Structure 1
Amino acid sequence: MGNVLVKTKEEAISWIHGREKVGIKPGLERMEWMLERVGHPERHLKFVHVAGTNGKGSTVSFISHVLRRSGYTVGTFTSPYLIDFTNRIQVNGEDISGKDLVAILNQVIPLAEELEQSELGGPSEFEVITMVAILYFSQIAKPDIIIWETGLGGRLDSTNVVYPLVSVITNIGYDHMEYLGSDLKQIAKEKAGIIKSGVPVVSGVEQEEAKAVIYEVAKAKKATVYQLGEQFSTVINKIHHSGSKFDFQDIFLTMPNIEISMIGSHQIKNAAIALMTLEILRQYYAFYIEEDSVYTGMKHTFWPGRLEKVLENPLVILDGAHNPEGAESLAEAIHLFNYKRLILVTGILKDKAIQQFYQPLLPLADELIITEPKFPRAKEALEVAKIVHSIGGASHVLVQENWKDAVDMAIQEANKDDLVIITGSLYLISDVRKYILEHYKKS
């Protein structure tokens, strides 16, 4: 066994990224093996486990903001990160420190090396990060509760080694089909894999066939389902390009006129799922959550890169809509804005349903600039342009492989009453966000 240990945050991150070569390894055997070795610290922590195709990050953010306002120390585990790698593991909105990352990773490295020699093989990058999160939360941060987001799917996702207080499934759509299956029932079955015996389930799933799968799995596990549109619901009072107001009702209570600043009707659904989850924590697990904390927490929830305004003149909005459902939610939200021309900048990864992603967006764009995320799995801009032309309905398509040039082109071309939306891969959004905040906000 080697003793190559890391000394700095940069070395730690580089070691973790080095595991990328292992690829994605569905299954819980390696996680169970490592947790067994360190005495199962996850058993002493409280979790809310969140799965779903879209809306996981926003839902995590809504839940954690309200709990923090109520005085709880809240850990969050999310992916991918938007600004810094350490965003993935936070307590009360503060990233894990470089020092703690180094200390914890130095405990994981020997485990990973020992595992490498076993018949199970070495852990994937995501398994290492999940392990780091569990050890950090159990040894150093010790939060009251952790809002714990799946990486991919649910059943075989490395986060699925925890026994949560509540399981949350935000929605089901077509993404990661090479791992999760190609029809909604199969994908629903994978997401429903996070349902545990007797643990309440909050579901925002809308398609009947996917809903049926969730009810079936929950019934087998004797888990109560709280389904959006059935046990809890919303009435929209106002929906606007600066947020929404809605009434929320569940089997316990009614809350009128809840205000959120996150844009789009999909965020009302995410907010409702969060409110139902909070209500379960309150009713069944004696969490003390005041009404005032709910209203202020919901209103101040923010999740970067989700219909986020980064420039005012011209109005530039970033949205990490990286799959067909995300693109539909974005297309719906675009109608809330007043603008003369829409300039759309997009870059997407190879493994996405590209044609379905562009379909709802093309008719809305006066100009489409296709670029490439700086990421190994990026789809070449010229290839994307071919797909776009095959769909038809696009008015003006430009290809600019370099994403910085694409962003500059869009911003310089836009008049003050035009709208620029930059969307697609979260890897693209992460780079663009940094670039705009550094280069344009100053000027």
Structure 2
Amino acid sequence: MVLHQPRFEEKSMINTYERALKFIHGRSKFKKIPTLKRMRTFLDELGSPDKQVNAIHVAGTNGKGSTVAFLRNILQADGNVVGTFTSPFLVKFNERISVNGIPLPDAEILRLVQKIYPTVQKLDQTLPEGGPTEFEIITAMMFSYFAEGHADVVIVEVGLGGLYDSTNVIVPKVSAIVTIGWDHMHILGDTLPKIAYQKAGIIKPGIPVVVGRIDPEPLKVIKDVAQKKKSPISILGDDFKVAALKEHDWLQSFSFTSGKYRFAKLSTTLIGDYQADNAAVAIQAYLDYQEVMDQAVSESSIIDGIRNTQWAGRFERVSTDPTIVLDGAHNISAVDEIVKLLQNDFADHKVYILMGILADKQADKMVRKMATFENAEIILTHFAGPGKRQAADPEALEQKVGQTPDDILTIADWQQAIETIKPKLNADDILLITGSLYFISDVRKYLKLNSK
């Protein structure tokens, strides 16, 4: 039998956190043929831990992370211990598996790798296509951990797409599809309906599904899948509604209505109409979950949960003097929302926008869209992409966009760019640092070091 995955080392040699991460990140990222069979086999070998958790499954192009955060805080305010599985991480790998917002300790990551390693080794030897991928291993670690009883409910965020995502082995209590937009087209499809079909893959027979604000064509695909699977569906704008008010003093206020429920005075530090939409999806998912579990709905839990939600890298104000904001707007759909936010709430501010974008995104479209905000000065920069993925070359991107030098500047060194822009900011100006979440992660570390 030929090994399809290079052996790492014996289990006894994975004896440190660093070696555990080396093992995880050393795995293949993708297989040629998408399938859930390998993941199902993997979990069955581990005792089917996915069947031992109460889960809420969340998919979507953008807004998954914020929706998970809102929902986690509502459920926590209700007295639950809440597990979450999210990606990517911003500061440290451990963030991906968290309990009540607290990432697992290094020792638990090491223990989980040691626990699943013999099964990975067995599947490397026996499966024709080779053993589990990196994300499948992380997913199995998450299910194994929460099957041990560390949470009352686990919110599982889809990694990529939905239909063939390794998390899609779960049969949740509630599913949610937050948004459908342009991202990962080389994998998910080149039209929004095709992308929607992949996201709708998380809909399970008879399981309630909550759907965010989605255009008619992709929405029809989702509705058709829900109908075929006889899954009750709640759609933002039809079955539940949100009315967002103008941002004031870095707070987003909104009201929410769903059937007999009406909450008129909700507010969050996550600003933008799209965050009100994300919060609405989270609230509806909570209402559905409580109904499925035959538990009472708490208005105070909703109010407190929404108010207390924070999510790093989502129009996050990290400095007030000068005003610096971080936002991981990593695709064209996210940039569209940022531009709407700037036009609606910050039209009278000068905004310096420092952009670091991965090369495999629609980088030129993202820059052109950002340039439609009249008070923007855009600075393109470079950063070290993750693994083999490369950041877009800022000078080549500037030429491709075709703006004059007065409209778009290039400072290839992003640390230098930040230090160049900061002295220019007056009291009303904003430095918005945006693009890839990997770039935002690097910036967060840099700003933290600088503040010491």
* TM-score exceeds 0.5: yes
- What's 1:409 paired with? 420
**What is the identity, as a one-letter code, of the residue corresponding to 1:200?**
P
* Match for residue 369 of structure 1 among 374, 379, 382: 379
How far apart in 1 are the matches of 2:393 and 2:116?
Answer: 37
Deviation, 1:363, is: 2.8
- What TM-score, normalized to structure 2? 0.93
How far apart in 2 are the matches of 1:237 and 1:431?
Answer: 33
**What is the identity, as a one-letter code, of the residue corresponding to 1:273?**
V
- What's 1:354 paired with? 363
* Match for residue 233 of structure 2 among 225, 238, 241: 225
Work out whether residues 368 and 394 of structure 1, in 8 Å CA contact, stay in contact via their aligned partners in 2: no
How far apart in 2 are the matches of 1:59 and 1:151?
Answer: 14
- What's 2:25 paired with? 17
How far apart in 2 are the matches of 1:345 and 1:178?
Answer: 27
Work out whether residues 67 and 279 of structure 2, in 8 Å CA contact, stay in contact via their aligned partners in 1: yes
How far apart in 1 are the matches of 2:371 and 2:404?
Answer: 6
Change (3 A) 1:393 1:160: farther
**What is the identity, as a one-letter code, of the residue corresponding to 2:167?**
T
1:430 and 2:437 matched: no
**What is the identity, as a one-letter code, of the residue corresponding to 1:386?**
Q
- What's 1:258 paired with? 266
* Match for residue 3 of structure 1 among 10, 18, 37: 10
**What is the identity, as a one-letter code, of the residue corresponding to 2:76?**
R
Deviations 1:175-194 (A, max 9, x none): 00010000011000000000
Deviates more, 1:142-151 or 1:330-339: 330-339
Deviation, 1:138, is: 1.1
Alignment of 1:125-274 (within 5 A): 125-139=134-148, 141-240=149-248, 242-274=250-282
1:292 and 2:305 matched: no
Work out whether residues 48 and 164 of structure 1, in 8 Å CA contact, stay in contact via their aligned partners in 2: yes
Please list every run of 5 or more consecutive structure 1 residues that lacks an aligned counterpart in the other structure.
none
How far apart in 2 are the matches of 1:156 and 1:278?
Answer: 25
* Match for residue 130 of structure 2 among 121, 134, 138: 121
Deviates more, 1:429-438 or 1:397-406: 397-406
- What's 2:3 paired with? none
Deviation, 1:37, is: 0.5
Secondary structure of 2:56 counterpart:
strand
Deviations 1:308-348 (A, max 9, x none): 01111221100000111100111111231365532110011
How far apart in 1 are the matches of 2:32 and 2:137?
Answer: 12
Work out whether residues 213 and 237 of structure 2, in 8 Å CA contact, stay in contact via their aligned partners in 1: no
Runs of 4+ in 1 over 6 A off after TM superposition: none
How far apart in 1 are the matches of 2:154 and 2:404?
Answer: 45
Secondary structure of 2:144 counterpart:
helix
Deviates more, 1:359-368 or 1:33-42: 359-368
Secondary structure of 1:311 counterpart:
strand
- What's 1:387 paired with? 400
**What is the identity, as a one-letter code, of the residue corresponding to 1:426?**
L
Deviations 1:191-213 (A, max 9, x none): 00000000001001421111110
**What is the identity, as a one-letter code, of the residue corresponding to 1:314?**
P
Please list every run of 5 or more consecutive structure 2 residues that lacks an aligned counterpart in the other structure.
1-6
* Match for residue 345 of structure 1 among 333, 354, 372: 354
Deviation, 1:405, is: 1.6
Change (3 A) 1:93 1:300: same
How far apart in 2 are the matches of 1:374 and 1:23?
Answer: 25
Work out whether residues 362 and 394 of structure 1, in 8 Å CA contact, stay in contact via their aligned partners in 2: no
**What is the identity, as a one-letter code, of the residue corresponding to 1:206?**
I
Work out whether residues 309 and 318 of structure 1, in 8 Å CA contact, stay in contact via their aligned partners in 2: yes
How far apart in 2 are the matches of 1:21 and 1:236?
Answer: 40
**What is the identity, as a one-letter code, of the residue corresponding to 2:312?**
P
**What is the identity, as a one-letter code, of the residue corresponding to 2:203?**
I
| Alignment length (residue pairs) | 438
Alignment of 1:22-101 (within 5 A): 26-101=34-109
- What TM-score, normalized to structure 1? 0.94
Deviation, 1:280, is: 0.7
Q: CA RMSD in A?
A: 1.8
Secondary structure of 2:243 counterpart:
strand
Deviations 1:107-157 (A, max 9, x none): 222222222222031222111111111111112x53110000000000000
How far apart in 1 are the matches of 2:249 and 2:334?
Answer: 17
- What's 2:4 paired with? none
Change (3 A) 1:317 1:394: farther
**What is the identity, as a one-letter code, of the residue corresponding to 1:219?**
Q
Secondary structure of 1:240 counterpart:
coil
Secondary structure of 1:401 counterpart:
strand
Deviations 1:220-276 (A, max 9, x none): 100011000111001234433512222211123111121122110000000100110
Deviates more, 1:142-151 or 1:105-114: 105-114
Deviation, 1:394, is: 7.3
Deviates more, 1:243-252 or 1:43-52: 243-252
How far apart in 2 are the matches of 1:280 and 1:221?
Answer: 17
Deviation, 1:307, is: 0.2
Work out whether residues 46 and 119 of structure 2, in 8 Å CA contact, stay in contact via their aligned partners in 1: no
Work out whether residues 241 and 263 of structure 1, in 8 Å CA contact, stay in contact via their aligned partners in 2: no
Work out whether residues 241 and 337 of structure 1, in 8 Å CA contact, stay in contact via their aligned partners in 2: no
Alignment of 1:283-322 (within 5 A): 283-322=291-330
Deviation, 1:3, is: 1.9
How far apart in 2 are the matches of 1:208 and 1:418?
Answer: 38
How far apart in 2 are the matches of 1:426 and 1:342?
Answer: 20
